[in-house]
Amino acid sequence: MRFSDSPIIAIASAPGRGAVGIVRASGRDLSPLIEAVCGRALVPRVATLLPFRGAGGETLDRGLAIHFPAPHSYTGEDVLELQAHGGPVLLQLLLARCLQAMPQLRLAQPGEFTERAFLNDKLDLAQAEAVADLIDASTEAAARSAARSLSGAFSAEITQLAERTVKLRMLVEATLDFPEEEIDFLEQAGARAQLDGMAAAIAAALARARQGALLREGLRVVLAGQPNVGKSSLLNALAGAELAIVTPIPGTTRDRVAETIQVEGVPLHITDTAGLRQHEHAADEVERIGIGRSWEAIRGADVVLFLHDLSRRGEAAYEAGEAAIAAELPAGVQVIDVWNKADLAAPGSAPEGGLAICARSGDGLPALRQALLAQAGWQAAPEGLFIARTRHVQALRRCAEHLALAQAHAAQRDAALDLLAEELRLAHGALGEITGEFTNEDLLGEIFSRFCIGK
Domain ranges of the chain: 8-122, 123-455
Sign of the CA dihedral 35, 41, 43, 47?
negative
Summarised one tens digit per residue, pLDDT across range 59-80 is: 999 999 999 999 999 999 999 9
Q: In what order do the strands lie in the sheet with 266-272?
A: 257-263, 266-272, 219-225, 303-309, 334-340, 355-356
**Residue 246 and residue 267 in contact, taking contact as beta carbons nearer than 8 Å:** no
- Report which DSSP code applies to 121: T
**Residue 9 and residue 23 in contact, taking contact as beta carbons nearer than 8 Å:** yes
Question: Helices 140-151 & 153-177, crossing angle to 10 degrees?
Answer: 40
Backbone angles phi, psi at 241, to 5 degrees: -155, 155
Question: In 3D, which of 87, 51, 45, 52 has the Cα closest to residue 66?
Answer: 45
Backbone angles phi, psi at 11, to 5 degrees: -80, 120
- Flag the least confident range among 179-193, 315-329, 382-396, 423-437: 179-193
Q: What is the mean pLDDT of residues 271-284?
A: 64
CATH number of 123-455: 3.40.50.300
Q: What is the mean pLDDT of residues 47-67?
A: 95
Q: What distance in Å separates the CA atoms of residue 77 and residue 117, rounded to the nearest whole number? A: 9
Higher-confidence position of 11 and 247: 11
pTM over the 0.85 mark: no
Q: What is the mean pLDDT of residues 347-358?
A: 80
434 pLDDT higher than 90:
no
Task: Output the furthest CA–CA distance in the chain (Å, rounded).
Answer: 86
402 pLDDT higher than 90:
yes
287-305 CB burial, b ≥16 within 10 A, e <16: bbebbebbbebbeebbbbb
Q: What distance in Å separates the CA atoms of residue 138 and residue 143, rounded to the nearest whole number? A: 7
Q: What distance in Å separates the CA atoms of residue 177 and residue 448, rounded to the nearest whole number? A: 13
DSSP 3-state of 220: strand
Query: Which pLDDT value is given to residue 211?
Result: 83
CB-neighbour burial class of residue 105 (10 A; exposed 0-12, middle 13-18, buried 19+): buried
Q: What distance in Å separates the CA atoms of residue 111 and residue 267, rounded to the nearest whole number? A: 25
Question: In 3D, which of 395, 389, 447 has the Cα closest to residue 426?
Answer: 395
Question: In 3D, which of 114, 208, 210 has the Cα closest to residue 156?
Answer: 208
β-pair type (8-11, 106-107): parallel
Contacts of 408 (CB under 8 A, 6+ apart): none
Among the CATH numbers 3.30.559.10, 3.30.200.20, 3.30.1360.120, 3.40.50.300, which is that of 8-122? 3.30.1360.120
- Is residue 209 very low, low, confident or very high in pLDDT (cuts 50, 70, 90)? confident
- Report which DSSP code applies to 312: G
Contacts of 339 (CB under 8 A, 6+ apart): 308, 309, 310, 313, 350, 351, 354, 355, 356, 357
386 pLDDT higher than 60:
yes
- Is residue 188 very low, low, confident or very high in pLDDT (cuts 50, 70, 90)? low
**Residue 406 and residue 253 in contact, taking contact as beta carbons nearer than 8 Å:** no
Q: What distance in Å separates the CA atoms of residue 292 and residue 282, rounded to the nearest whole number? A: 11
Instruction: Name the average pLDDT for the chain.
Output: 81
Q: Where are the beta strands (DSSP E) in 55-156?
A: 59-68, 78-86, 106-107
Alpha-carbon distance values, 171 to 286, 426, 432 (Å): 68, 16, 19
Q: What distance in Å separates the CA atoms of residue 243 and residue 224, rounded to the nearest whole number? A: 17
Q: What is the mean pLDDT of residues 365-371?
A: 89
Query: Which pLDDT value is given to residue 349?
Result: 74
CB-neighbour burial class of residue 320 (10 A; exposed 0-12, middle 13-18, buried 19+): exposed
Q: What distance in Å separates the CA atoms of residue 402 and residue 394, rounded to the nearest whole number? A: 12
Contacts of 296 (CB under 8 A, 6+ apart): none
The rounded radius of gyration (Å) of the Cα atoms in the chain is 30
